[in-house]
C-alpha cells in the first residue's frame, strides 16, 4: 500500500497570496500570528501579506525573529510569544526555517512543554492533537517544507526534527511571485535542495508510480531552469518553473522520502553550520556516484529528464552522464563542489562519518546500502572533489 499524503488545500499561481484572506475565513479565525525572518521582511514580502490582511480586515501579530537553521531557543521563544497572544491561526511566510517554526508553534500552542520535549531522537512527549490551523507560504523554491510534516532544529553540534502528521499544513499557498526577488545564492542552494528532493525521492526504495511522476517532472523543470533562475533572476518564467518544480519535489519526497544525500548532509549542517541547501549540493554528485549502479534504469531516466542526449546510450552510459550533470549543475550555480572549500579538514571526516551513521531513518531508504566505510569514502571523494565514474 502506498498512501499519498498532502496538505488539505494547495493553492498555486502568480499573485495568489491574496487567497490567504479566504483561507483564514474558512477556518473561522479572527487573528493571525505571522512568522517571518528579517530577510523576508526586508524584501517587502511581509508588507505585501500585511496589506492583504488589512484589506480583508483580519487582525494579526508579527514574529520576525526567525533565523536560518533555527536553534531551540528561537523556536521556544516563538512558542512563548504565541501562547501569550490570542491568535487563532498561524501563517508562516518564508523559507524552510520559518515554515518549520510556524508548524512547531501551531502544534505546541495546545501542548505543554518545550520544543525539545517533542524531538524525534531525544524527546519524551508525544503530540496528541494538531493545535491551531496553519497556512504556509514559501518564498523560496525551495525546501518543500510547506508540504511536509517535518520541522528541523539545530542542536549544539547536530540537528533533530519534530515529525508528526499533525505538523502538516492545512493550506499551502505557493505564489510564484514571492520567489522573484530571491538573491542568486539562496536561489542556488534552495534550488539544488529541491533537485535533491526530487532525485532522492525518485530513487528511494519507497517510491511509487505517483511519486515518480512528480519527481521526474520536478527534475525536468528544475534541471532546465535552475541556471537561468540563479543568474538571471528577472526571468519570471524560470522562477515560476522552479517554484512549481520545488512543490512537486516536496510532494514527492514527503511521500517517498529522501536518503543518503540528506543523511550525509545533516552532519555538515550540525557540525559546520553549512546551510541545508549547500550541504546537500556539495554531496549530491558524490552520493550518486556511489549509488548509481543500484538504480541504473532510473538514473537513465534522470539523464533524459535533465535534458541530456541519451538516445543511443546504454542505461549505464546514461546513468553516468546524469551523475556528471549533477556535478555540473552544482558548479554552474556557484556552489562549492568540495567540502574542503567550506573549511572542512580531512581529519573532520571521522566525526562526520560517526554522525552520518546515526541517520538510519534516511539511509534506510537508499537503493544501495551503506556501511560506515562507504560513508567515509563518500566524504573522502567530496573532500578531494574528484568524480571517478568509469
**Closer of 17 and 219 to Fe ion (Cβ):** 219
Q: Please give the residue whose beta carbon sits closest to Fe ion in the complex.
A: 193
Nearest distance in Å: CB 143, Fe ion: 6
Which region, judged by CB under 5 A, interacts with Fe ion, from 20-28, 30-38, 66-74, 188-196? 188-196
Minimum CB–partner distance for residue 154 and Fe ion (Å): 14
Nearest Cα residue to 277 out of 202, 380, 197, 379: 197
Q: How far apart are CA 352 and CA 365, in angstroms?
A: 20
| Helices 184-203 + 260-272 axis angle, to 10 | 140
# residues contacting Fe ion (CB under 5 A):
1
Find the farthest-apart pair of alpha carbons in the chain and give their distance in angstroms, rounded. Answer: 65
87-95, 189-197, 301-309, 339-347 -> range binding Fe ion (CB under 5 A): 189-197
Min separation Cβ 6 and Fe ion, Å: 17
Determine, following the binding rule CB under 5 A, whether residue 278 of this chain makes contact with Fe ion.
no
Per CB under 5 A, the segment of 170-178, 193-201, 288-296, 304-312 that binds Fe ion is 193-201
Provide the minimum distance between the beta carbon of 160 and Fe ion in the complex, in angstroms, as a whole number.
15
Q: How far is the CB of 266 from Fe ion (least distance, A)?
A: 10
**With respect to Fe ion, which residue has the nearer C-beta, 19 or 193?**
193
Distance separating alpha carbons of residues 161 and 176, to the nearest angstrom: 28
Measured CA to CA in angstroms, residue 295 lies from 218, 320, 356 at distances of 18, 11, 22
Local structure of 11: helix, strand or coil? strand
- Cβ neighbour number for residue 37 with a 10 Å cutoff: 23
**CA-closest candidate to residue 295, choices 369, 219, 374:** 369
Among 19, 149, 160, 193, binds Fe ion (CB under 5 A): 193
Question: Which of 93, 91, 179, 80 is CA-nearest to residue 133?
Answer: 91
Q: Which residue has the cell 534552495?
A: 190
Q: Name the residue nearer to Fe ion (CB basis): 109 or 145.
A: 145
- Closer CB to Fe ion, residue 193 or residue 278? 193
Task: Provide, rounded to whole angstroms, the least separation between the CB of residue 197 and Fe ion.
Answer: 6
Residue closer to Fe ion by CB (options 193, 212) is 193
Residues that bind Fe ion (CB under 5 A): 193
Amino acid at each position: 500500500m502506498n498512501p499519498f499524503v498532502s496538505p488539505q488545500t494547495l493553492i498555486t499561481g502568480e499573485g495568489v497570496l491574496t487567497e490567504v484572506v479566504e483561507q483564514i475565513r474558512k477556518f473561522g479565525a479572527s487573528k493571525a500570528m505571522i512568522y517571518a525572518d528579517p530577510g523576508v521582511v526586508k524584501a517587502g514580502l511581509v508588507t505585501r501579506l500585511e496589506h492583504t490582511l488589512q484589506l480583508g480586515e483580519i487582525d494579526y501579530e508579527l514574529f520576525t525573529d526567525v533565523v536560518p537553521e533555527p536553534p531551540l531557543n528561537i523556536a521556544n521563544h516563538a512558542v512563548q510569544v504565541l501562547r501569550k497572544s490570542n491568535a487563532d491561526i498561524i501563517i508562516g511566510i518564508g523559507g524552510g526555517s520559518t515554515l518549520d517554526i510556524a508548524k512547531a508553534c501551531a502544534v505546541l500552542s495546545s501542548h505543554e512543554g518545550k520544543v525539545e520535549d517533542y524531538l524525534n531522537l531525544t524527546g519524551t512527549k508525544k503530540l496528541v492533537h494538531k493545535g491551531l490551523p496553519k497556512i504556509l507560504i514559501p518564498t523560496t523554491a525551495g525546501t518543500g517544507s510547506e508540504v511536509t510534516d517535518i520541522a528541523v532544529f539545530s542542536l549544539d553540534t547536530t540537528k533533530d526534527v519534530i515529525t508528526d502528521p499533525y505538523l502538516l499544513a492545512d493550506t499551502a499557498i505557493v505564489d510564484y511571485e514571492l520567489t522573484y526577488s530571491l538573491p542568486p545564492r539562496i536561489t542556488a542552494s534552495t534550488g539544488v535542495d529541491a533537485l535533491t528532493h526530487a532525485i532522492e525521492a525518485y530513487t528511494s526504495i519507497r517510491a511509487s508510480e505517483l511519486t515518480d511522476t512528480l519527481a521526474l517532472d520536478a527534475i525536468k523543470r528544475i534541471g532546465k531552469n535552475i541556471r537561468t533562475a540563479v543568474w538571471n533572476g528577472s526571468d519570471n518564467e524560470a522562477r515560476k518553473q522552479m517554484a512549481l518544480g520545488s512543490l512537486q519535489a516536496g510532494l514527492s519526497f514527503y511521500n517517498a522520502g529522501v536518503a543518503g544525500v540528506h543523511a550525509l548532509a545533516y552532519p555538515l549542517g550540525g557540525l559546520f553550520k553549512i546551510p541545508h541547501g549547500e550541504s546537500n549540493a556539495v554531496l549530491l554528485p558524490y552520493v550518486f556516484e556511489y549509488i548509481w549502479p543500484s538504480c541504473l534504469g532510473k538514473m537513465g531516466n534522470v539523464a533524459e529528464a535533465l535534458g541530456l542526449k541519451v538516445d543511443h546510450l546504454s542505461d549505464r552510459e546514461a546513468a553516468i552522464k546524469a551523475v556528471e550533470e549533477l556535478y555540473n549543475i552544482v558548479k554552474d550555480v556557484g556552489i562549492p563542489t568540495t567540502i574542503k572549500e567550506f573549511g572542512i579538514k580531512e581529519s573532520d571526516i571521522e566525526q562526520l562519518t560517526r554522525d552520518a551513521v546515526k541517520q538510519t531513518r534516511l539511509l534506510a531508504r537508499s537503493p544501495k546500502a551503506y556501511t560506515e566505510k562507504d560513508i567515509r569514502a563518500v566524504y573522502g571523494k567530496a573532500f578531494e572533489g574528484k568524480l571517478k565514474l568509469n
